[in-house]
Amino acid sequence: MKNIKTLIATAVAVLATGAAQADINIGVSLALTGPGSGLGIPMQNYFKLFPQSIGGEKVNLIILDDATDPGKGAANARRFVTEDKVDLIIGSCITAVAAAMTDIASEAGTVQLAGSPVGVPAGKDKWLFRLPQSNTVMGSAVVEHMKKQGVKTLGFLGYTDAYGEQWLKEITPLLDKAGIKIVATERFARTDTSVTPQALKLTSANPDAMLIVASGSGAAMPHMAVVDRGYKGKIYQTHAAATQDLMRVGGKAVEGSFVVSGPAVIAEQLPDSHPSKKQAIDFVQKYEKAYGANSRNQFAGHSYDAQVVLEKIVPAALKKAKPGTPEFRAALRDGMETMGRTIFAHGVMNWTAADHWGYTNETGVMLKVVDGKFKVE
């Protein structure tokens, strides 16, 4: 009898182990502290609303703080692939941190679904897909708006890191084509608490408009600095600034400014003909039911879209392999490349083997800050 009980106990243990191995494990690295926390916390908030199972399999989210630090993000990615044996990585919401994670995910043959518009050299994004729109896509919307506003000269004030560098690199040819000249270029670090010297140089150049490339609440400080120095021209912000933090911190200084965004932030203002209206409203209703009116956020919308992706590709991947295997990870990547036209809260996505950005130039929506709220232009 004792031997029978032992065999039964062993069988139960084996079955339990098998069930655990069938779970889908997802490693999530976000800036929950540090200067990027205004982006990471909203993403984490939506992940708290994530389904507990997809395709009939339990989903485990392993969420770690990368503290807005590329080194910490790389350490998180290394833990995900060596200790947690995850099937997919999501993160980071900070471009420089996501970039530090990319080689690790690629070496492990694990999809990285970045929450930031991270760029890598051509041919190195086999395992990297992006939830945010590319800077080129969003830059196209910004430049078109500038043309309509009669802008001929531009001042650039952006982060010294990858996000700022990529915006400058990608928008410059668009500006050249539109006949808009950059007359002053200044940089600052995410951790800087003042940009007074840069603001003085930019205002003395007196461009028709300024483009500030920063994120979350950190986008308000440079904006306020140029206004405080008497700048009266038009001020533009990127999609990383499309959060309520811009108005909360910037107050009256950001009134009348222009911000490019994905459609999720202004769901109700979208025309009925907009393909993303239904998904955007679904995201807003779910998020604000949990976190209160006007809590919606560009980055929380990316977490919602991650759910859209997984609910579409996981059932097909499960038919090819079991979670926890290289074959399953490869099936997830193949599923993303072949999932076809998919409606996100942030636009229409169509990843392919040749395009791991996926969004079209029609994705960007230009907003204006009016009475402390975003209004569609």
Residue 45 CA, chain-centre distance (Å), reads: 14
On whether both 101 and 187 belong to a single domain, the answer is no
On whether both 143 and 251 belong to a single domain, the answer is yes
Q: What angle, 0 to 180 degrees and rounded to 10, lies between the N-to-C axes of helices 162-178 and 135-148?
A: 40
| Assigned token pair, 137 | 């896509």
Give, as one character, the DSSP assignment of residue 134. Answer: P
**Is residue 94, in this structure, part of any structural domain at all?**
yes
**Is residue 281, in this structure, part of any structural domain at all?**
no
**Is residue 272, in this structure, part of any structural domain at all?**
no
**Is residue 358, in this structure, part of any structural domain at all?**
no
Pick from 139, 132, 137: which is nearest to 98 by CA?
Answer: 132
The model's pTM: 0.84
On whether both 226 and 323 belong to a single domain, the answer is no
Q: Report yes or no: 110 and 87 within 8 Å, Cβ to Cβ.
A: yes
**Is residue 326, in this structure, part of any structural domain at all?**
yes
On whether both 242 and 299 belong to a single domain, the answer is no
| Assigned token pair, 248 | 């909360």
On whether both 86 and 141 belong to a single domain, the answer is no
Please give the residue range of the domain that contains residue 231: 135-261
On whether both 96 and 86 belong to a single domain, the answer is yes
On whether both 129 and 9 belong to a single domain, the answer is yes
| pLDDT tens for the 377 residues of the chain, in order | 444 343 334 334 434 444 445 799 999 999 999 999 999 999 999 999 999 999 999 999 999 999 999 999 999 999 999 999 999 999 999 999 999 999 999 999 999 999 999 988 888 899 999 999 999 999 999 999 999 999 999 999 999 998 999 999 999 999 999 999 999 999 999 999 999 999 999 999 999 999 999 988 899 999 999 999 999 999 999 999 998 899 999 999 999 999 999 999 899 999 999 999 999 999 999 999 999 998 998 899 999 999 999 999 999 999 999 999 999 999 999 999 999 999 999 999 999 999 999 998 778 899 999 999 999 98
| Assigned token pair, 151 | 């802008």
Burial of 141 (0-12, 13-18, 19+ CB in 10 A): buried
Total number of domains in the chain: 2
Pick from 151, 76, 137: which is nearest to 110 by CA?
Answer: 76
- Residue 13 neighbours by CB under 8 Å, 6+ apart: none
**Is residue 125, in this structure, part of any structural domain at all?**
yes
CA–CA distance, 267 with 297 (Å, rounded to integer) = 11
Q: Report yes or no: 368 and 256 within 8 Å, Cβ to Cβ.
A: yes
Q: Report yes or no: 63 and 44 within 8 Å, Cβ to Cβ.
A: yes
On whether both 148 and 108 belong to a single domain, the answer is no
Q: Determine the 3-state secondary structure of 183 from DSSP.
A: strand
What CATH number has the domain bearing residue 99?
A: 3.40.50.2300
DSSP 260-297: EE-GGGGGGGS-TT-TTHHHHHHHHHHHHHHH-TT---
On whether both 222 and 335 belong to a single domain, the answer is no
**What count of Cα atoms within 13 Å lies in the side-chain half-sphere of residue 176?**
6
Q: Determine the 3-state secondary structure of 78 from DSSP.
A: helix
On whether both 84 and 142 belong to a single domain, the answer is no
Residue whose token pair is 């800050």: 369
Q: Determine the 3-state secondary structure of 220 from DSSP.
A: helix
**Is residue 367, in this structure, part of any structural domain at all?**
no
On whether both 326 and 219 belong to a single domain, the answer is no
On whether both 88 and 174 belong to a single domain, the answer is no
**Is residue 267, in this structure, part of any structural domain at all?**
no
CA–CA distance, 351 with 347 (Å, rounded to integer) = 12
- Residue 107 neighbours by CB under 8 Å, 6+ apart: 81
